[in-house]
Structure 1
Amino acid sequence: MGGVEDDEPASKRMKLACRELKGNPNDSLLSEPSFGSSRDLMARLLQSEEDEVIGSKGVIKKVEFVQIIAKALYSLGYKKSGAHLEEESGIPLHSSAVNMFMHQILDGNWGESVATLHSIGLKDESTVKSASFLILEQKFFELLDGGKVMDALKTLRTEIAHLCASSNQLRELSSNLVSFSHGASVGSSNQVNLRAKSRPKLLQELQELLPPTIMVPERRLEQLVEQALTLQRDACVFHNSLDREISLYTDHQCGRDQIPSRTLQVGTNGEVSLKHKLSGHHKPVSSVSWSSDDGKLLTCGVEESVRCWDVSSGECLHVYEKSGPGLVSCGWSPDGKSIFSGVNDRSICMWDLDGKEVENWKGQRTLRISDLEITRDGKQIMSIFKETAILLFDREAKSERVIEEDQTITSFSLSRDNRYLLVNLVGPEIHLWNIDGDINLVAKYKGHKRTRFVIKSCFGGSEQAFVASGSEDSQVYIWHRGSEELIGKLSGHSGSVNCVSWNPVNPHMLASASDDGTIRIWGLNSHLQQHKKLQQVHSNGGSMAAAYNGRT
């Protein structure tokens, strides 16, 4: 990375550069060659070129663009290509001073590297100070590792002490010195060995600290491309596919064909076989909850008890009940080792699997009939604790937060990432609440019909980017979660659709249950999918057609 003489021919400069490429092939910081002094290269870089822009918008600076491409080539291991790009464009990835600085760091020339640091054009004195501290800290640890305790002490006193950002930094380094000098082998000496072997890591830390105009950031081109793809994906209201299916060849845009719109199967009483008849409740069953392994099932009778069933045998494994008040809802802990239940006295109870009551949270925490959700970490319990409010109870902190609505709440569901609650109201409106940190209302979904029945909604699709709901007009409604746009209405039922559930594994499958006595499974329109594939084949030519035929 240091320069060669200006009068060397280009072929010899290339040979010298290629010899420098030997080393760790995985560390691009070690593999960026230099083609002579900056005078040689920058003489070919006209002032007008420094200000030259490319692209139809006129916002991309050519010099930065070329440097980022060169950096990407080195990072990908294409060292000769990166070197050729620097040579042909006349645009160096780094100045000769920066190349020399990088060599000095990797060679352990600490005094020279600090001196060079002051000459590479840094305007922020705090950055210079912080970078100098990192360099001299490395020198200090390497001296200790080499057993040069007195030299390390001198470095600490004369070079590092005035650079420490706090007294704690100085005390920590001093403690390493004391521990090492007394032969301590636990803790400090391990750190010494670790730091003494990490010059490439030091160079990486310095690169992150210094301005990008001095040292081009690692993998900057990848970051820019990923940002562009993410923006395209987020702007696509129909996006419902895996991110790995997004191509760089075209702008990303899903069509309506990515949303479930076609009935794949209709289930009726005559088509469903009875596996077990679970008998034991004396009152109507108000709540059912599957265990995470699908091996057990909880059922709760209204103001009665909770029963745990073995799914394979149909055997009742345990009955959970409280003397006096009955139970009204139930749910599993994320690890499946305990259960929760809403109690008729408006408290929430927790049992272990053997029926021992572990905790009981008294107070106005649940309604007589209430949904109950537990976050994946098991820390928060959520329940409707009055007609217009949902309680978020933190078990560990013993703290409570409340979501207040203006209308009666009929049901709610928790997102997979535990950050959002989807709340159904007595009116024809569904609210999305952010519960991660400060509680706030982030979206409202409208258009479906609800006047008499309890209608349940759900999250679904890839990254749970959609909201689906039943409706009293016999249709299933689908909105884009972020934009609140109604993007689909699925017709097929002949009665009110009370509940919907999006397949958590297959983002293209949705189930709906209706008062018409059927359950419909919805999927993609295969005809639209086939038509889209054929369009892609024709638009991309014969080679794409061959590839398409090969896949099928």
Structure 2
Amino acid sequence: MQGDGAGQDQDSELSCCRNGAQNGESSSTGEAHSNGLESVTNNGNTVNNNNNNGVSAPPESNNSNSTVDTRKKKRLSQCEEDVIRLIGQHLHDLGLNQTVDLLMHESGCRLEHPSATKFRNHVMEGEWDKAESDLNELKALMHSPSAIVRMKFLLLQQKYLEYLEDGKVLEALQVLRAELTPLKYNTERIHILSGYLMCSHAEDLRAKAEWEGKGSASRTKLLDKLQTYLPPSVMLPPRRLQTLLKQAVELQRERCLYHNTKLDSGLDSVSLLLDHACSRKQFPCYTQQILTEHCNEVWFCKFSNNGTKLATGSKDTTVILWHVDTETQQLKLMKTLEGHAYGVSYLAWSPDDAYLIACGPDDCSELWLWNVQTGELRTKMSQSHEDSLTSVAWNPDGKRFVTGGQRGQFYQC
């Protein structure tokens, strides 16, 4: 009786498994057969033997898939999207285009607008008619539609120069007359461009136009200029990540307590893994020389622009010029400039270091302009005895300067 009962139970169990498999129901036995597994009954327990490495799928797989799906569906913040785009642009500049495609696909971001991508490709391939047509698509995406004229001018200028370099003078002349001139933009530049028609060979053209010539170098430079007119949501500014990293390094240097400018280097040789910090040992903090020629308080010191001279102003009414030995870093007295009745509280070297201007304290209304080479007083200036001229700055051309003080006077000389 027990044997028959066991047989009936087994037949019933096998029948249920077969019916479940036929009806597409989920069962461990059905799954095993569908995946090439053998089902073995051992003491009433079903054991699946996997022919592929003998490993069965973990029961938590459904939960794992749902977790992955949840991560994919996570909405990125604007900051996160910006960072991904910056990384993508940098990878693209390095030529890692497949990595960029994978990054954009997985993140769901877009490196730049499709119209911008098409525009970039046409510019780099020198297909100027297509690039000009792309501008019409980009016009609707720009904050300033009037910038289209400036962008078109830059495109046609490159087209014109490439025609000239190729010796296609008639085609270049057609671009100048029929395309550039009707824009009625930057007429002065058009006159300059017309002069390039007289260039006898390509080298002369490149020299006069200060242009790299036909090819990727000049087209990349052109694209950098064109990108400035497009909003970053359409096309990122060129090398944006490098710009941000450079700004970060510069800010760290400004905040560095013991920063030594002699150790400054480019971004390529700076580690970005740690914040910049100079140690106290790198800072010049040991006495090299003591100067005792002044008879009273020294109020101001200023090295020349080329670093070969030092001017010191004192309460003793003199300015002393020192020669700097660039090898030994020792100072040697050159000249003593006398006659500053109120003392010297400020000094300014001209851009070429040929002249030196000295100012006095608050109650001084005079300026002294000295010839550094001869030690002669070039001129002494005073507008009013009530003025207070305590500061001065040269114009970059070295022909003019401005002066003023705390009482509100301001003069340009």
Could you state the TM-score of these two structures normalised by the residue count of structure 1?
A: 0.42
Larger RCO, structures 1/2 (Cα 8 Å, 6+ apart): 1
| Matched-pair contact (CA < 8 Å) for 2:348–2:358 | no
| Matched-pair contact (CA < 8 Å) for 2:371–2:378 | no
| Matched-pair contact (CA < 8 Å) for 2:161–2:172 | yes
Q: Distance in 1 between matches of 2:249 and 2:333?
A: 51
| Matched-pair contact (CA < 8 Å) for 2:141–2:234 | no
Q: Distance in 2 between matches of 1:132 and 1:114?
A: 7
Query: Shift of the alpha carbon at 1:241?
Result: 5.7
Query: Shift of the alpha carbon at 1:359?
Result: 1.6
- SS of aligned partner of 2:172: helix
| Matched-pair contact (CA < 8 Å) for 1:277–1:314 | no
More strand by share: 1
Query: Shift of the alpha carbon at 1:134?
Result: 2.1
| Matched-pair contact (CA < 8 Å) for 1:308–1:319 | yes
1:358 aligns to 2:377 (yes or no): yes
Q: Distance in 2 between matches of 1:314 and 1:171?
A: 54
Query: Shift of the alpha carbon at 1:398?
Result: 6.1
1:127 aligns to 2:127 (yes or no): no
1:199 aligns to 2:219 (yes or no): yes
1:171 aligns to 2:174 (yes or no): no
| Matched-pair contact (CA < 8 Å) for 2:123–2:219 | yes
Query: Shift of the alpha carbon at 1:319?
Result: 5.6
Which residue identity does 1:154 align to in structure 2? Q
Which residue identity does 1:112 align to in structure 2? K
Task: Give % identity.
Answer: 22
1:80 aligns to 2:83 (yes or no): no
Q: Distance in 2 between matches of 1:91 and 1:159?
A: 38
1:137 aligns to 2:166 (yes or no): no
Query: Shift of the alpha carbon at 1:153?
Result: 2.0
Query: Shift of the alpha carbon at 1:337?
Result: 6.1
- For residue 401 of structure 1, the aligned residue among 395, 400, 404 is 404
After superposition, residues 366-385 of structure 1 pair within 5 angstroms as none
> Which whole-Å deviations, capped at 9, do the CAs of 1:248-299 have from their partners, x for residues lacking one?
779x799xxx99xxxx99x9xxxxxx98986xx9xx6454776747988868
| Matched-pair contact (CA < 8 Å) for 1:340–1:348 | yes
Q: What is aligned with 2:368?
A: 349
Q: Distance in 2 between matches of 1:61 and 1:110?
A: 35
Computed over aligned residues only, the root mean square deviation of the Cα atoms, in angstroms, reads 5.6
| Matched-pair contact (CA < 8 Å) for 1:144–1:192 | no
Q: Distance in 2 between matches of 1:160 and 1:73?
A: 36
- SS of aligned partner of 2:406: strand
Q: Residues 277 and 70 (structure 1 numbering): CA distance in 2 closer, same or farther, change over 3 Å?
A: closer
Q: Distance in 2 between matches of 1:351 and 1:201?
A: 45
Q: Residues 328 and 366 (structure 1 numbering): CA distance in 2 closer, same or farther, change over 3 Å?
A: farther
**Corresponding residue pairs, total:** 313
Which residue identity does 1:83 align to in structure 2? D
> Which whole-Å deviations, capped at 9, do the CAs of 1:484-529 have from their partners, x for residues lacking one?
xxxxxxxxxxxxxxxxxxxxxxxxxxxxxxxxxxxxxxxxxxxxxx
- For residue 147 of structure 1, the aligned residue among 142, 147, 167 is 167
> Which whole-Å deviations, capped at 9, do the CAs of 1:303-345 have from their partners, x for residues lacking one?
7x667789999998656556xx967448776477666667999
| Matched-pair contact (CA < 8 Å) for 1:299–1:308 | no
Q: Distance in 1 between matches of 2:373 and 2:247?
A: 51
Q: Quick check: which has more Rg, 1 or 2?
A: 2
1:104 aligns to 2:107 (yes or no): no
Q: Unaligned regions of 5+ residues in structure 1, if any? A: 1-48, 268-273, 368-384, 406-434, 439-552
Q: Distance in 2 between matches of 1:129 and 1:137?
A: 12
- SS of aligned partner of 2:368: strand
- SS of aligned partner of 1:118: helix
Query: Shift of the alpha carbon at 1:143?
Result: 1.5
- For residue 116 of structure 1, the aligned residue among 134, 138, 143 is 134
Q: What is aligned with 1:66?
A: 84
- SS of aligned partner of 2:221: helix
After superposition, residues 330-341 of structure 1 pair within 5 angstroms as 334=349
| Matched-pair contact (CA < 8 Å) for 2:91–2:100 | yes
Q: Residues 122 and 240 (structure 1 numbering): CA distance in 2 closer, same or farther, change over 3 Å?
A: farther
Q: Distance in 1 between matches of 2:323 and 2:189?
A: 59
After superposition, residues 326-475 of structure 1 pair within 5 angstroms as 328-329=343-344, 334=349, 347-352=366-371, 356-363=375-382, 390=390, 392=392, 396-397=399-400, 399-404=402-407
| Matched-pair contact (CA < 8 Å) for 2:86–2:240 | yes
| Matched-pair contact (CA < 8 Å) for 2:165–2:205 | no
| Matched-pair contact (CA < 8 Å) for 1:141–1:152 | yes
Q: Distance in 2 between matches of 1:227 and 1:107?
A: 33
Q: Distance in 2 between matches of 1:170 and 1:401?
A: 43
Q: Distance in 1 between matches of 2:324 and 2:187?
A: 63
Which residue identity does 1:403 align to in structure 2? Q
| Matched-pair contact (CA < 8 Å) for 2:122–2:130 | yes
| Matched-pair contact (CA < 8 Å) for 1:176–1:188 | no
Q: Distance in 1 between matches of 2:156 and 2:319?
A: 66
Query: Shift of the alpha carbon at 1:362?
Result: 3.8
- For residue 161 of structure 1, the aligned residue among 160, 181, 190 is 181
| Matched-pair contact (CA < 8 Å) for 1:101–1:116 | yes
After superposition, residues 218-229 of structure 1 pair within 5 angstroms as 218-224=238-244
Q: Unaligned regions of 5+ residues in structure 2, if any? A: 1-70
- SS of aligned partner of 1:404: coil
